[in-house]
Structure 1
Amino acid sequence: MDIKEEFKVKGSELLSKIKELIEEGNVHRIIVKDDKGGKFIDIPVNIGIVAVVLAPFMALIASLAIYASTLTIEVIRKEE
């Protein structure tokens, strides 16, 4: 069963919060939504994922943060 968490962040905090969540290591998927609930990006995160694979996502996330005042990060974790 999956565990879902949501975090509301300012656009300027988005990139650092996503990096923090990935570093925790138990995240299965990260979904970034706008204030109306529309999905901006859906990132599958695996233990074996490397920075090279994440780089395009991080560039996209950084560009989203410029235009959004508040975003929701939905984190899906696998129950251990």
Structure 2
Amino acid sequence: MAYKETFNISGENLLKKVKDLFNEANVTKITIADKNEKEIISFPVSIGIVGVFLAPIFAAVGAIAAIVTDCKIIVERKDAEPKAEETVAEEENPLV
């Protein structure tokens, strides 16, 4: 199951935050929106992305950062933690 997380950020810190998010394993999609949540750019994040493909994305994010003063980053993440009920069921099974 996926969930979303939103960060309010200034334009000057935008590129650094996006680069940091690319290094997190459970991020699947990043959307940059203005302060009114109107989408500016959105791109998927895959584990196999190499530097050649990241350069245009970072250039676009850098250009956006130069234009906007405040924006939001909406991050979609895959659920990395097991649900509480699954954990309890595993603990109750004596055969495991």
Which whole-Å CA distance do the structure 2 matches of 1:51 and 1:42 have between them? 18
Structure 2 residue runs of 5 or longer lacking an equivalent are: 81-96
Between structures 1 and 2, the one with greater strand share? 1
Task: Give the distance between the partners of 1:16 and 1:33, measured in 2 at CA.
Answer: 16
C-alpha distance after superposition, 1:13-47 (max 9, x if no partner):
00000001111222100000001211111010011
- Give the letter aligned to residue 65 of structure 2: A
- Matched length: 80
Question: What TM-score does the superposition give when structure 1 sets the normalisation length?
Answer: 0.94
The structure 1 segments of at least 4 consecutive aligned residues displaced by more than 3 Å after TM superposition are none
Q: 5+ residue gaps in structure 1?
A: none
Q: Does 1:31 align with 2:16?
A: no
**Larger Rg over CA atoms:** 2
User: TM-score scaled to structure 2, two decimals?
Assistant: 0.79
1:13 aligns with 2:13: yes
Does residue 25 of structure 2 align to residue 62 of structure 1? no
The yes-or-no answer on 1:44 pairing with 2:44 is yes
